[in-house]
Structure 1
Amino acid sequence: MAGLKYLSGFGNEFASEDPRCPGALPEGQNSPQVCPYGLYAEQLSGSAFTCPRGTNKRSWLYRILPSVQHKPFTPITCGNLTDDWNEVEPDPNQLRWKPFIITKALEKKVDFVEGLHTICGAGDSKSRNGIAIHIYTCNTSMIDRCFQNSDGDFLIVPQQGEILVTTEFGKMMVEPNEICVIQHGMRFSVDVFGETRGYILEVYGAHFELPDLGPIGANGLANPRDFLTPVAWFEDRTVASGYTIINKYQGKLFSCQQDFSPFNVVAWHGNYAPYKYNLENFMVINCVAFDHADPSIFTVLTAKSTRPGVAIADFVIFPPRWGVADHTFRPPYYHRNCMSEFMGLIKGHYEAKEEGFQPGGASLHSMMTPHGPDADCFEKNSTAKLKPERVAEGTMAFMFESSFSMAVTKWGLETCQRLDKSYYKCWEPLKKHFNPNWKPGSM
């Protein structure tokens, strides 16, 4: 389903053609007067034409009919998808959600677009600067419907159930513990195989790329060779009842009709394509002496802002690894931060909160809101005998971290009814251990 190597965030160019039509890629130029097989040439630009070569993103698509051939877009209901960050009052508290409910297919059929729910976000899609975090819960495939995000990139994190993502560039099967990125403007549909749930990080005005490695050197974290893009695949199919294109534009949903499948790209070349990545391929960097390295060492992808070192959003994971630090409280430390931290759990038990934080749920620690391990974790790890041990075995937690101060939606705070209102109680049993008579060596 996915076979080409892809270097995320750099200018390398790749090419693919459906093997049913050898020679579909024009030779020597992008838009000849007549394309092979009578195809139309269409460019998809992910950056301004005049961006520096290293950041210039575009691909040429050679398709049976161009995407311009459709009826006018008209507004449709947005359901629980929103970019209204002022519909409820701000809430600076530590927030945690129980696993989000997936509607049973017997009750109602819900596809990927219908199952989008916005939890929080900030910024503005019109000015191309911001972020949104969504949950998707669905139980049926998209039939003769596709989705296009005109506002930004989608980073999709499946948690329950694999998804088959059909794009204009080809198909990708994405399973839990993998991610995929559908970049700005790319059309795609999602097939599911039962009850399905996952997380989405959306960024406006920037693309995800690999973080700079700095003193780490040339190797480590997510390696470019492990990112995969689809092999070209097309369908030449007429839909008598009409094929629906759903467009997310300025935070609202619109739809239009056309009588052919949008997945009619026979060949493509360029450096702007959807891609997937298996989180098991992440090369973990960690402390081997004492204390903690900052969690930025677990960054898979980043969407940079115009301020050096400050991200619109980072995608960070906490994979299985060895813990070997001496004279150190090994779990995450108590912390207040100038970033917003949204966490999700794909599988297993998160080391700092083994009970209340569940797969398919989430938490949000807002800017400068204190957070850290619960009381049980603190007591256990304060007295533990330190020896090399595996951390997070069988677990994959992740974090969407942003420099934006995020607002929670009405659905997230009220409608979903999954908010754990007792979350704050996990810190109440913390005891005072202060001893004014302490002397060096008395512990």
Structure 2
Amino acid sequence: MKKTNNIPLLIMLSIIMAAISSCKRNDGYNVPISKDQSKPGVVTNVKVDDYNGGSFITYDLPNSENILYVLATYQIRNGVTRETKSSYYSDTINVEGFAKAQEYTVTLHTVTRANVYSDPVMVTVHPKTPVYEIVSKTLALQADFGGVNVKSLNLFKKDIGLVVTAFNKSTHQMEVEDQHYTNTDTINYSLRGYSTDSRDFGVYVTDKFGNISDTLKRNLSPLLEVLLDKSQFSTFKLPSDTPIGYGWVTSNLWDGRTDGSSDGWHTLPGQTPPFVTSFNVGRSYKLSRFVIWERPDDGQVVYAFAHGNPKTFTLWGSNVAFPNDAKLPLSSPLGTVVGDWINLGNFRYPNPPSGLPPNNHNAADNAFVLAGVNFNVSIADPAIHFIRLSVSQNWENGDIAHVMEISLYGQPQ
């Protein structure tokens, strides 16, 4: 082979090596990438725009191509200092995490590519009331079945945490019992597993910056909660119930078998929603919650988050001795009354916890289905003696519905 045939290859290798040399990794703002040790000028024409828990600071940069970023240093509460950096290509820096609505001093420096700092510029900001404090002002703590219920509003939909504490009889101290993180606008959840004995409970709000609100304290006696006795359940077939398919009868919903290895409740194909089944729970209860076990994957067919498993559904109840049949609507608000039946709640089965698409869930998501999913019933709902499960939509918008098991909890009346 002639040597001249290697010339294009050598040229190409030279170009690649040059490109690699020119693409050295920059680990961030702290790596000096200039030998110019001159002190940079300061920012000017500084303006402040305060918001809840923080402030936007705008400025004019000095005329220097050697500046890499602007550094803001500030205390968000006593003993806690934060730093925020903003690129040379921006004229605004965001300082956030302040614990109170009060004046704070922010120190601004311009920093060069050689890591040389300018003289400081002191800026006064006055952030508005932080979101965690706004949320804390709407906190409500009340007794619930088997524990306590926490309600609050987070109208800004920011990331906050609610921490529930309770008096521990062993340590004689208030101990953290639960930490609930959310960014939803309406907060309503219950912490259960307590006896009916009175005890001190508390709840406070925190945020991602470690700020903590005052604690709302209450002495509360949790309400009695029991698992409804499934041996007392019986089918209560009504004319408008959806026809059964494949012999998967309603009574399978309380046979205690949840793993998909046996039959559950299954409607006949070719039906239109809502898919409804009805049963008698044996006596009157004021419900607190229920657990649904949807059909899991069986190793051959994907059922979890698919097929006829309910995606949205409603629980209807009646406390009439022998409630009459009524054709249930596809959707209705909580508390809607149709004949002898009342809407106890509209529910949506959660998406796969992994974040994967429902039709591409993983083994952990299937384990989530196998474990059963808990749904709360409003404490304001009336007592019931009969239940109707009404599935308005399955995961594939199909013409069937199926569920493996249901467990209900509440207080006997």
- Which structure is higher in strand share? 2
The structure with the larger Rg is 2
TM-score of the aligned structures, taking structure 2 as reference length? 0.20
